[in-house]
Structure 1
């Protein structure tokens, strides 16, 4: 293999890895915003999903995650490192995730954070990488008890704008990205 072809293969690998990371980031944003279009852009239509508490086709997963449970009004998925093993037009990917969930139990909101890993089998089709199968592994969970009352501001200081606190249904970042 010549140096030029090795450099080209290295560049192709870097581009593929970055496209995979971008797919995963957009998917997490879609799940946090319950945005069916963003989530759909992360999975192939013939994909399957195993979240442990959900197992099924992508179509079934999408119906489960959007609009989401009314008892879970807010989520925030933060992705860590990804180990990406490219195998031509397929890849196996492990990505660490820390996920915050606000859960309503009765008339009380509770905050929990869990840590785990996504194990994704991904395929490239027509230059686009998406998930063909996802498995969620759970490593830890912490219950932080009652949620903060944001109507009181932050640390005794009132919010000066009405867009300081985001939710899946009302998130200032949506207009932020629309303006570019």
Structure 2
């Protein structure tokens, strides 16, 4: 399917004779660039799936983003006793257990910069993470800003994480300010599991 797509894009670009940088276009280098664009999109979706796996506490999805020997490395700036540098698959149950104590979470990923080199790639992506947790009976908002650094590898056409580390640039920890109206329906509130509407919305609306 990807080869068909590349062929179609090449046909659509036939009227263009040079790239933006002045490089002469040939079928070979155009196909290479199109394949790089597709690889970068595939990698970006793996990064997005990782964020979703945390917010929906989807252990299977999280595990699927790492190769079996892939590794995870980071330290939590709000709770620095929590530090991990080991196998990614082994990290999954630890992450799921840790997220059970959080009431709400949301991870936003942006600014992905990806460098592809054959079947290997490196990437940097900005992350904004929002967590509601309880301290001494008071809800607190832990808000973190940082960047994920990745090494990816492609096998049989599929990209997965070989190594992921996180650098935090700033954080806030403050009393929670969220207000939910008394009549606000649970139907429209996000769920931190597979009961979330995102898991069946597409199928329901086909």
Normalised to the residue count of structure 1, the TM-score between the two structures is 0.88
Q: Deviations over 1:95-152 (max 9, x none)?
A: 00001111122322211211000000000011001110001101001223124242x3
Cα deviation, residue 78, structure 1:
0.2
Tell me which of 55, 76, 81 is aligned to 2:111: 81
Which residue matches 1:42?
65
Gapped runs of 5+ residues in structure 2? 1-23, 76-82
- Which of 112, 124, 145 is 1:94 aligned to? 124
| 1:146 maps to 2:176 | yes
What whole-Å deviation, never above 9, does each CA across 1:55-112 have from its counterpart, x for those lacking one?
Answer: 2111221121124343213211100111101111100100000011111223222112
Unaligned ranges ≥5, structure 1: none
SS of 1:167 mapped into structure 2: coil
CA contact (8 A) 2:66 2:89 kept: no
Computing the radius of gyration over CA atoms, which structure comes out larger, 1 or 2?
2
State how many pairs are aligned.
174
Q: Given the superposition, is the C-alpha separation of residues 55 and 23 from structure 1 closer, same or farther in structure 2, using an over 3 Å criterion?
A: same
Give the aligned partner of residue 66 of structure 1.
96
Q: How many Å separate the matches in 1 of 2:136 and 2:64? A: 35
Partner of 2:162: 132
Q: 1:9 aligns with which of 20, 26, 32?
A: 32
- CA change 1:104–1:171 in 2 (3 A) is farther
Equivalent-residue separation in structure 2 for 1:72 and 1:115 (angstroms): 18
